[in-house]
Chains A and B, each alone.
Chain A
Amino acid sequence: MVYGDLIAAEWLPITVATVLSTFVVMAVTGKIAQKLEPSADDDGGEDA
């Protein structure tokens, strides 16, 4: 592995940042979009 040493030395910040940030982005994006979405006409869903 070319960057094996770097990954071995910094596995903690790499893994924690990647995993947590993935969930943070889903929560922030989804919550904001849902809050701003027009609720009157619910034409979402399968084959809308």
Chain B
Amino acid sequence: MMGAKMLETPLFGITLTLVTYLLSQKLYRRVGKVWANPVLVSIVSIIMLLKLFDLEYRDYARGGDILVFLLGPSVVALAIPLYQRREVIWKRKRPIMMGVFAGSLASILSACGLAWILGGSRDVILSLAPKSVTTPIAISIVEKIGGIAPLTAALVVLTGCIGAVCGPEFCKRIGITSPVATGLAVGTSAHGIGTARMLEVDRLSGAVAGLAIGLNGLMTTFLLPILMAIAGHW
């Protein structure tokens, strides 16, 4: 009975998330392999634990939602590494702006285009449109354009995990070696989760990735209605 009561408090979700993440980080430090990415390991472990003990996602989300709320302040805190490297970044304002603009456009076109080619419904296509944007902005966008907000939230996290797990290695393999370009690529594609990973790889890359989160949110907000109007003409 005591256990059942515990599940009804936010403490359950918060404790489960924090303990799992701390253990995953320990594992990552020990193994040092890309697949042991703490975000990925935490997600998989929590899903497995909830399934194994037949626990309701709703009970977990009570605490999980509080942690999601903290995502906002953490994104704002990225202003600090950004401020510390403002001169290096300001010197590269043009490549940064052009890179994020192209990335934002590529994100909407490739996600919606691929889903459309593979027979995705209108709801799914619209939910995919802001998937590279940070969660709070993505949710506001999708609520305006008429997609499914919970699906978008899940796709945003999935995108972030893919970028965080594969981003640095993928960039290296295709010849993106500059720390600014790498940070920008992972930040534009994989927002906060990718940025957290880039901060571990290189401080400058992490700062630029943090900037890319905001810029991509802004550009997607402006680009999406224009692209939808164009698509509506066809």
Contacts and interface: CB of A to CB of B under 8 A. Distances in A.
Contacts, number: 175
Contact of B114 (A10, A16, A36, A48): A16
Given A13-B115, A29-B185, A30-B171, A21 B91 contact: no
B75 interface: no
A29 B184 contact: yes
Q: Chain B, interface size: which category? A: 35 or more
B225 interface: no
Q: Which secondary structure characterizes the binding site on chain B?
A: helix
Q: Which secondary structure characterizes the binding site on chain A?
A: helix
B123 interface: yes
A23 B102 contact: no
A25 B50 CA distance: 33
Interface of B: 57, 85, 88, 91-92, 94-96, 98-100, 102-103, 106-107, 110-121, 123-124, 128, 131-132, 148, 150-151, 155, 158-159, 162-163, 166-167, 170-171, 174-182, 184-186, 188-190, 202-204, 212
